[in-house]
Amino acid sequence: MAIPASVAEFRARYRREKIGAHYSGAAHFLFTTFASLAAIAFAAWGVHRPSALEWLTVPLTFLFANWGEYTRHRREMHRPVRGFGLIYKRHTLEHHHFFTHQAMSYEGARDFKMVLFPPILIVFFFGLFAVPVGALLWLVATPNVARLFVATVVAYYLTYEWLHFAYHLSPDTFVGRLAIVRVLRRHHMTHHDLALMGKHNFNITFPICDWLYGTTLRTKVSESATGTPQPGGPTH
């Protein structure tokens, strides 16, 4: 199906001005995947006979990460907050105009750059957030809690990247046809409507906080790459 002219023009200009000739979408995806898996393995390797209480670190960290995903997306990514201007520009002014609810799919591997976080972010995320918080938990709780926290939070980061990547694949691909991807893509496609993006469907992975905060908007959408959402009303 035809991509709207305004989106096609934006994509062509962005590729020409912002995506370097030597950029490799495949290398970007593989680096994100294997760097994250290495960090998860490094953290989990030393977990030794955790107690039931220590295992609670995993679901609690998962819920914390889901809340962080929701709040950061709803705030800094969609509001021009001082100190976070680059994030706002990258997400609202670029990502949401490169991919709209009428044109959700990649046209080639070079378009991966508009979905995956920059490779350097996994280094900063692991080194400046996961490890320091893990070190604090090592001191105030136990080594198992610290390691489980780091492994879970990095696993959540990778899940975010994989799922977001999958939503922008063509629905006709093997991954695009998976039931869970189809359901979550519909949720995300609604968010890519420029008229709705600042109000609804902020969770990228699992819409837990969207449900809790009453920001879920269910839609009836085409499964085509350029399907247009038809609002079905908010849910609370």
Q: How confident is residue 128, by pLDDT bands cut at 50, 70 and 90?
A: confident
Q: How confident is residue 181, by pLDDT bands cut at 50, 70 and 90?
A: very high
According to the model, what pLDDT value does residue 219 have? 72
pLDDT reading at 32 higher than 60: yes
According to the model, what pLDDT value does residue 220 have? 54
Beta strand pairing call for 216-220 and 230-235: antiparallel
**Alpha-carbon dihedral angle through residues 29, 3, 198, 25, given to the nearest 10 degrees:** 10
pTM of this prediction?
A: 0.91
Cβ(232)–Cβ(9) below 8 Å? no
Please provide the average confidence, as pLDDT, over all residues in the chain: 91
C-alpha distances (whole Å) from 200 to each of 42, 61, 86, 132, 215 are: 37, 24, 22, 33, 5
Q: How confident is residue 218, by pLDDT bands cut at 50, 70 and 90?
A: confident
Cβ(33)–Cβ(158) below 8 Å? yes
- The pairs formed by 223-226 with CB atoms below 8 angstroms and a separation of 24 or more are 223/171, 223/182, 224/1, 224/171, 225/1, 225/103, 225/104, 225/105, 225/170, 225/171, 226/1, 226/2, 226/3, 226/4, 226/102, 226/103, 226/104, 226/105
pLDDT reading at 55 higher than 60: yes
pLDDT reading at 180 higher than 80: yes
According to the model, what pLDDT value does residue 18 have? 94
